[in-house]
Structure 1
């Protein structure tokens, strides 16, 4: 985002095992003076992701000193043993094995564990160089089209480290969701103030104070973010499904085009490094590992008969933003049918998925909002060129395609805008058009700093966008409880993220009934 152009039962056991202790339960201790590291090889934590009915990806990244070249791990491979158990005390081992963490991939570990039971909690840990990691909890997806009464899905996005503390993640972990969806801006490539911004750190690694461009820059930026104890706690509590947005690479990048006027060849090298670092630090499968700038990040995950979760990539294959990427009114450029936000192959794949889905809820998980979130700028109705509003033909093809293929309930989950929003999904917002679904935009974890319950942006949004049902600009996350007969979306917000002390509260509860794209706001 930018305006320039171009149920964990063993709670105490987990908390005791974490390498970083300050602020675990929502910032209940003083601010950490500087990024810490346990000194052990598992100081960046553990994670799991992309759950299937029979398996899940387990992740860790070895590092003795995350801000030293190669993480202080040397130039050779390191054997890492892993275990999966049916109990948190790790006595009933159901799967185990060994892999090698190599320097080529930042000594990261991605274990695609299979042979597990569906809809089951499991616990896991790693061993390497005589050390043992903390124990993480994960959960497999329900069996294909098995009856599912409830799925708890948390949604997070936009977590600028320098803008505040991750109170939202402590709150999220306390709710122990079945799965967590992260919609991007996991890191920010821009320089961090030398004193750490809102965190007022005593010192930062040199790489954090400059814009990330090289591979080691990006690796160290991930290490800085992953040093946060509340983020580690969330990762160790539930499986994450993660995509990237722009700031993992460069603000508002569009396919091969950077934000500024850098040479395309130089940006291709930068993008390849950034995507490599993203894969190294994310619990995703080998299939998502990039080959240079080529990456397949879009994927689909099913949760019984209840949810088909389609994760889109709205960065890698898009046309350059219209109108110089300036927020403006829609015109012939935004309506041009040759312009695309998904690319032709991904769009076909998405529509084919709609045709074969028999789930109660079809969910589009994506980086940028699909709905027109127009606001008044003087006498102009302005929209962001970076979201689907700048790619009107793409949006119409997808929404009409979902309706034509008999999608029962369409929900879009989006991030990027640092604001909680509920809006109607329509093929057109300037002419009569049927409502095709509902969009729920999750606010940022920290990005933008302390927000307000209602600000001038909310006012201008409501003036120009009567299809917006709710808006709030505080920080937090979105907690969804999905049932067969209704979708409940709870917007949880923090009064402040600039203070190391913080808790969250419910700001609104949205209910979407089955088969009706209407919303009730409480």
Structure 2
């Protein structure tokens, strides 16, 4: 939704004492997470500001702009997905100081039940590389204050960038402690969310090792627009997610669970047309709710909406966010016909997105070409494993129990597209390509050889860092044991895999400098504990022009 401009930067009335408290204390180092919980809905009804009970968020930072987001509750019965409630005018402001003494931009928008009373403003005309504060006012109340940051100017080369990297946050499987620990950091520029921001399953149908730690709303599986709106709204009541959204801009793409498990262009494994209606209708409903509730910049509309896009960070990096669900063919099934994966007519990106991707990588005037990639691109061959472990891997990663094979839901199921991409990178001598991946509820660091059999000889197309799930079930959860021996067996067969950890939940912190890109992995001690501490896991880096190597210490 665009903004409705006003003639000048008119100040709104003084905010409540709660909002002043938020501005004064929300971003004070290690206290940030606790403060965000208190201010943004951690049990204090007054602090939660009833009109803005779903918090504030920002996303997709540019050198001169950023998206800011909120949702207004215009009346008690105007709950998410209800279709009820009158239209409301919402003012917004953004300033370079948390007291809003000098407002950089402001305006007003009208929201209604047509957009589920969400507000999404793509603010422009801002200065590059600046920390900004923003807030909304409606119905006599002022929202909590959010903090965001614009990207560096296109001609600038920052000394470094740091991103929190996350994926796969299942409400029922545990608490979002990963978000709380990222909120407490003071060294991040943005959060990259690689998909499965929500989960579509009905209550109790897709929990974790501890069962359904907290129940989903609605109780049924999300199929209709109303269902998806309610589910998104529930996730945005989580205090840890609220705090992180209010602290840093998000850069997101969707994977499958934002619509339905193992989705593709014409359907999904978890969609039954006989009982759940048209896939096109369900897919459209899920996309509409996602774009209403997420601070994501999209182009096009309706069936032609497009979320694959690029974000530039000076001359240091460009982040390409892919959409690997909307255009893909149905995955190749394991068994007799699994070689369908090699069919050159099959695609995971779609022709237009592949051409856009390869052309963009070739022309990017930056050192690091980062690719936000929802499913693993590194080739993966599994060694023979004992039955219980194979069954766990089958369930979480799609590997057939009949024996070593590909995961048809990953790039392994679309080998012709992967070869096209890798060959374009090699043939056009595109250097320093790094894929950032989620989806498989585990942690990996991989070089990307064009010919796996020749590794470590031969050429590589780049590297890949895969982050674990925030909460969603890991292989370790399913086998109820330490799976380190499994990880070592996988690395033995796949020599290009430099790090594999299959047990833990958590997040990554990625640092980009002119010299190197380093990922640190952090793991929650217990996702069933809302106050869980975090432990450092490992660090791996790839030098500019080089290959992945282990690092001994995390980023300082």
Alignment of 1:494-513 (within 5 A): 494-513=524-543
Partners in 1 of 2:190 and 2:76 — Cα distance?
Answer: 28
Counterpart of 1:394 in structure 2 is 417
Give the 3-state SS of the residue equivalent to 1:382 in structure 2. coil
Q: Say whether the 8 Å CA contact 1:80–1:99 is kept in structure 2.
A: yes
| Cα distance per residue 1:463-505 (max 9 Å; x no partner) | 4322211112311111011110111211111111111221212
Q: 1:145 to 1:132 in 2, by over 3 A?
A: same
State the secondary structure of the residue aligned to 1:79: strand
**Counterparts of 1:39 and 1:187 in 2: how far apart (Å)?**
24
The structure 1 residue matched to 2:191, chosen from 180, 197, 208, is 180
Deviations 1:71-120 (A, max 9, x none): 56834321000000111122221111101112111111111111111011
- SS of 1:481's partner is strand
Out of 403, 421, 443, the residue aligned to residue 444 of structure 2 is: 421
Q: Call closer, same or farther: CA 1:129–1:397 in 2, change over 3 Å.
A: same
Structure 1: give runs of 5+ residues left out of the alignment. 1-9
SS of aligned partner of 2:137:
strand
1:92-171 alignment runs, 5 A limit:
92-171=102-181
Distance 1:92 1:152 in 2: 28
What do the CA deviations read for 1:220-241 (whole angstroms, capped 9, x no partner)? 1111111111101111111101
Q: 2:360 aligns with which of 331, 353, 361?
A: 353
Distance 1:329 1:428 in 2: 24
Aligned partners of 1:129 and 1:17: how far apart in 2? 24
Cα distance, 1:321–1:63 mapped onto 2, change above 3 Å = same
Contact 2:167 2:468 in 1 (8 A): yes
Q: Which residue of 1 aligns with 2:67?
A: 57
- 1:466 aligns to 2:478 (yes or no): no
Partner of 1:6: none
Taking structure 1 as reference, are residues 66 and 441 closer, same or farther at Cα in structure 2, changes over 3 Å only? Answer: farther
Choose between structure 1 and 2 for higher RCO, CA contacts under 8 A separated by at least 6 residues.
Answer: 1
Whole-angstrom distance in 2 between the partners of 1:66 and 1:184: 31
Q: 1:413 to 1:193 in 2, by over 3 A?
A: same
Work out whether residues 185 and 245 of structure 1, in 8 Å CA contact, stay in contact via their aligned partners in 2: yes
Matches of 1:394 and 1:11 in 2, distance apart?
52
Distance 2:452 2:325 in 1: 23
Shift of 1:260: 4.8
In structure 2, which of residues 459, 471, 486 is the aligned counterpart of residue 434 of structure 1? 459
Instruction: Give the distance between the partners of 1:26 and 1:477, measured in 2 at CA.
Output: 19
SS in structure 1 at match of 2:264? coil
Indicate how the Cα distance of structure 1 residues 329 and 128 shifts in structure 2: closer, same or farther if over 3 A, else same. farther
Superimposed CA distance per residue, residues 400-422 of structure 1 (whole angstroms, 9 cap, x where no aligned partner): 11222232201000000000110
Offset at residue 61 of structure 1 (A): 1.5
Distance 1:91 1:11, change over 3 A: closer
Task: For 1:172 and 1:508, locate their aligned partners in 2 and report how far apart those are by CA, in whole Å.
Answer: 17
Aligned residue in 1 for 2:8? none
> How far, CA to CA, are the matches of 2:126 and 2:32 in structure 1?
34
Deviation larger for 35-44 or 429-438:
35-44
User: Do the aligned partners of residues 49 and 66 (structure 1) sit closer, same or farther apart at CA in structure 2, a change above 3 Å counting?
Assistant: farther
Distance between the aligned counterparts of 2:157 and 2:447, measured in 1? 28
* 1:375 maps onto 2:385 in alignment: no
1:3 corresponds to: none
C-alpha distance in 2, partners of 1:259/1:123?
Answer: 42
User: Scaled by the length of structure 2, what TM-score is found?
Assistant: 0.83
**Judging changes above 3 Å, is the alpha-carbon distance between structure 1 residues 382 and 306 closer, same or farther for their aligned structure 2 residues?**
same
TM-score normalised to structure 1 length: 0.88
Distance 1:414 1:494, change over 3 A: same
- In 2, distance between residues paired with 1:22 and 1:124? 17
CA offsets, 1:362-409, max 9 Å, x none?
A: 111111000023322458322210000111110011111122223220
Cα distance in 1, alignment partners of residues 180 and 403 from structure 2: 41
In 2, the alpha carbon distance for the partners of 1:81 and 1:27 equals: 24
Instruction: Sort the Cα spacing of 1:158 and 1:422 in 2 relative to 1 into closer, same or farther, 3 A.
Output: same
CA drift of 1:358 comes to 2.0
Matches within 5 A, 1:80-479: 80-176=90-186, 177-193=188-204, 207-260=217-270, 262-263=272-273, 266-285=278-297, 287-288=298-299, 290-291=301-302, 293-323=303-333, 326=334, 332-378=339-385, 380-430=403-453, 433-448=458-473, 451=477, 454-455=483-484, 457-472=486-501, 473-479=503-509
Question: Is the Cα contact below 8 Å between 2:25 and 2:32 reproduced in 1?
Answer: no
Please provide the CA RMSD for this pair: 3.2
Structure 1 distance, partners of 2:373, 2:206, is: 33
Counterparts of 1:36 and 1:92, CA distance in 2: 28
Deviation of 1:512 after TM superposition, in Å, equals 1.2
The alpha carbon displacement at 1:351 in A equals 1.1
Contact 2:23 2:99 in 1 (8 A): no
Structure 2 residue runs of 5 or longer lacking an equivalent are 1-18, 386-401
Partners of 1:251 and 1:178 lie apart in 2 by 31
Greater CA drift, 350-359 or 447-456: 447-456
For the 8 Å contact 1:375–1:462, the answer to whether it is kept is: no
Distance 1:199 1:166, change over 3 A: farther
Q: What SS is found at the alignment partner of 2:198?
A: coil
